[in-house]
Structure 1
Amino acid sequence: MSLVEVLPLAVVMIAGPQIISSIFLSTSKRWRANSTAYVFGAALSIGLVVIVAYLLGNRLSSGGDGLLGASTRQLLYVVVLVFLLYAAIDTYRKRTVSEPPEWMGELTSAAPQFSFRLGFLLLGFFPTNIVTSVSVGTYLAADDAPVTDAAGFVLLTLFILALPSLGVFLLGKRAETALPEVRDWMNDNSWIISEAVIAIFVVLTLQNLLG
């Protein structure tokens, strides 16, 4: 069940400047190259963070009992809870940020090299994203699940990031007209979706911790 449990966190990964940047890039002058570079950069950084967190969690869990006699697996679940609570607080704190940063307006004339760096840094090392990716890797390690269970989480994140460019490819001008409305809606409401997903994952983690 680990794969199914971590999939919803893909929504947390893209909510905010991540999907908004993808929308801007999908309407840029070199949208095909920019969108591809952005998603590729995101794939590398997300995969890297999840794998490192998983390996560290696995190494820790192989050490036997941990602090105060509690099992290391329970301690890993506690770590996941701490990360999730941080993500929830950070998401709530930033809920009133209604306007995207000014630099996003420059994405319509971005180069693929910049798009790659943006995808790598924004999806892998944005505070909420790195916390979410670490939570996924640590959770799978604590659950004795294979690291390949993170593949669905990574692929779903990348698929959602690619949706704006896929929309432009399939629908052309109609997508370009609709995307600004989607961008504004996501900018106003994505924090609510993120909080709901985080709450669900907190419940699942508590069940594993207490059960």
Structure 2
Amino acid sequence: MELQVLPLAVTMMAGPQIVAAVILVTTARPVRVCLAFLLGVAVATAVGVALARWIFALLGQSVAPGSPSDRGAAATIVQLVLVGLLALVAVKNVVKRRTVEPPKWLGSLLEAGPRKALTTGFLIILFMPSDIAVMLTVGANLEQHGAEWTAALPFLAATVLIAALPLLVYLLLGGRAQRAMPRVRQWLTTHSWVVNAAACLIFIALILAP
């Protein structure tokens, strides 16, 4: 793969995704719950990339983004539409920052068990619009270069690693992390517009990068 794996993985987890990971660290059984969440994230990412590659294999190279010299008109249109939509979402988050509220389902994660964490990790990746866009980009890149699905393993590993950061901080810092995580959770909840807008800008930069 010739994609910037780390920025793509950061975009995958930016927004409610990382907020969910932080919330799960503050549950009664954080390790078991977070491991279940990470499993859901890993499975959803693997399934999403495989589906994206299959879709582009059916569509052919006409819509797969490549280097500027070999992009077709369809690919250019798709990219411009994506950039426009992401820019609108970023502007909307900034303009409505005082009224933007986190999804109600995030609050329910405070009492989540492993099964709910697994389901959340799966659904939050597979059905999040920004993550769908990232996985489509990865799938298109795999198809364009004739690469096997295993070429996306670095991207998969980076996504799971970023999702695991709250748990790793909890395990490394122990009691200090237990005291700090609720404050981090509160900040992320009240400043979700910052995270969402930043994710949009990162992905716009990735789309426009040569």
| Alignment TM-score, normalising by the size of structure 2 | 0.79
CA contact (8 A) 2:37 2:119 kept: yes
Cα distance, 1:181 vs. partner?
Answer: 3.9
- Distance in 2 separating the partners of 1:175 and 1:122: 24
Cα distance, 1:182 vs. partner?
Answer: 3.4
- Distance in 2 separating the partners of 1:182 and 1:165: 13
Letter in 2 for 1:90: V
Map of 1:47 onto structure 2: 46
- Distance in 1 separating the partners of 2:107 and 2:200: 27
Map of 2:199 onto structure 1: 194
Structure 2 residue corresponding to 1:128, chosen from 120, 130, 144: 130
Matched ranges for 1:22-101 at <5 A = 22-61=21-60, 74=72, 75-76=74-75, 78-95=77-94, 96=97, 98-101=100-103
- State the aligned residue count: 198
Cα distance, 1:51 vs. partner?
Answer: 0.9
Letter in 2 for 1:42: V
RMSD: 2.8
Cα distance, 1:192 vs. partner?
Answer: 4.0
- Residues 2-59 of structure 1 show CA distances to partners (whole Å, capped at 9, x for unaligned) of 14x2431111111111100110101100111110111111111111111111122133
- Residues 116-156 of structure 1 show CA distances to partners (whole Å, capped at 9, x for unaligned) of 11111011111222222122212332344443332222211
Letter in 2 for 1:19: I
> What is the percent sequence identity of the aligned residues?
32
- Distance in 2 separating the partners of 1:103 and 1:134: 26
Map of 1:172 onto structure 2: 174
Question: Residues 108 and 163 (structure 1 numbering): CA distance in 2 closer, same or farther, change over 3 Å?
Answer: same
- Distance in 2 separating the partners of 1:154 and 1:82: 26
Letter in 2 for 1:142: Q
3-state SS in 1 of match to 2:28: coil
Question: Residues 84 and 35 (structure 1 numbering): CA distance in 2 closer, same or farther, change over 3 Å?
Answer: farther
Map of 1:114 onto structure 2: 116
* Unmatched 5+ stretches in structure 2: 64-69
- Distance in 2 separating the partners of 1:125 and 1:30: 26
- Residues 188-207 of structure 1 show CA distances to partners (whole Å, capped at 9, x for unaligned) of 52234313321321222xx3
Question: Residues 86 and 135 (structure 1 numbering): CA distance in 2 closer, same or farther, change over 3 Å?
Answer: farther
* Unmatched 5+ stretches in structure 1: 66-71
- Residues 148-193 of structure 1 show CA distances to partners (whole Å, capped at 9, x for unaligned) of 3322222111111111111111111211222234331563522343
Cα distance, 1:91 vs. partner?
Answer: 4.3
| Alignment TM-score, normalising by the size of structure 1 | 0.79
- Distance in 1 separating the partners of 2:127 and 2:195: 19
- Distance in 2 separating the partners of 1:124 and 1:112: 18
- Distance in 1 separating the partners of 2:147 and 2:84: 23
Letter in 2 for 1:154: L
